[in-house]
Amino acid sequence: MTENPTAARTRDEFAYLPGQAERRGREAPSAERLALDLPDGRALSALRLGTGLPQVVLLHGAGLNAHTWDTTALALGAPVLAIDLPGHGDSTWRDDADYRPRTLAPDVILGIEEWAAAPVVLVGHSLGGITAAAVAAQRPDLVASLVLVDITPGASGGGGSAELRRFYERTDFDSREAAVEHAMGFGLGGSLEDARRGVFHNTRVRDDGRVEWKHHFARIAQQALAAPADAATPALVDESGWDDLAAVRAPLLLIRGERGYVDTAAADDFARRLHDAEVVALAAPHNVQEAAPVELAELIASRIHPNGTRP
């Protein structure tokens, strides 16, 4: 099926939200796209779902975008701010391709100051989790509670890196349907409906009508494929994350997916290093926020309300 480029560019990004809400027996929340001009000329983008200043801020993982949290936000039922990390979604790519957590943290801090009711419950998945730790270490006044989703510093994710490099051998497509077919061929995206929604939010239509991934990592991965085998590739999560986590004074929760990146040995190491942290396992793959949104929302809600009640 060929997609009309003009229609694809102008489609409402929140068009999927009412259907998602209806399937979960909820009303669709108010939703808006936010933009913040950064001091160096780049822009930071985010979604605000719900009415009122959010007390929950959500940071996605590498290669994803703020919409990965939509179903979790619906299950939570409270106002949330979901930020597009630099180089992802509608946030500007970095010219230096530096997406290490400590590099990303200052932009996230500005976003929290501008758009949220601090101190917040700061939730980060994968790269967003170690970025959240850097934010909490640099600005403890902004973070009331820190939640990491399926990530610890140095977590490797097994053989996923080689598979993702193969996935990004193709970075543009004739249509979004072609991108959906590509994603599902790698076992990504879940159901056909979920894959279509995910591809819609994570792609853009160029002026020539072709569809490309929005995030910078597709381009970085393609460059890595063309480079010599021993060439250095940009690091995303490094050992500095342990120093940041050690400096965090807010209550800390690690939620790991039983089929995700953080295995039992990594979780035990996390608990040994951070004695006061809580560790919870959910029956989910790495993208816990998409596979187990209700369970994840309940754990986030318990951080907003110490008695564990839903908002």
Which pLDDT does position 1 carry in this prediction?
A: 40
Task: Answer whether CATH 3.40.50.1820 is correct for domain 5-304.
Answer: yes
pLDDT in tens, 232-262: 455 555 668 999 999 999 999 999 999 999 9
CA distance 53 to 50: 9
> If you compute the radius of gyration of the chain from its CA atoms, what whole number of angstroms results?
18
Q: Is the whole model's pTM more than 0.75, yes or no?
A: yes
Task: Give domain limits for the chain.
Answer: 5-304
The pLDDT of residue 202:
97
Token pair 């997916």 in the structure block, residue: 257
2 has a pLDDT exceeding 50: no
- Show the tokens assigned to 298: 């309940």
23-36 confidence digits (pLDDT tens): 999 999 999 999 99
Q: Which residues contact 114 (CB under 8 A, 6 or more apart)?
A: 36
Amino acid at 242: W
Residues labelled catalytic: 126, 150, 286
Write out the two tokens for 105: 């943290």
CA 266/CA 155 separation, integer angstroms: 7
Average pLDDT, the chain: 89
Q: What is the largest CA-CA distance in the chain?
A: 55
